[in-house]
Amino acid sequence: MSLEPVTIIARIAPKAGRTSQLREVLVAMVAPTNREAGCVVYNLHEHPGEDGLTFSFYEVWLSQVALDEHMKTAHVQGFINRLEELVEGEIEIERIRLLTDS
pTM exceeding 0.85: yes
Confidence label for 50 from pLDDT (cuts 50, 70 and 90):
confident
Instruction: Give yes or no for residue 10 having a pLDDT over 90.
Output: yes
DSSP secondary-structure letter at 89?
S
| Range 24-45 average pLDDT | 97
Instruction: Give yes or no for residue 100 having a pLDDT over 80.
Output: no
Q: Residue type at 58?
A: Y
Report pLDDT for 102: 55
Q: Residue type at 29?
A: M
CB 6 within 8 A of CB 67: yes
CB 68 within 8 A of CB 16: no
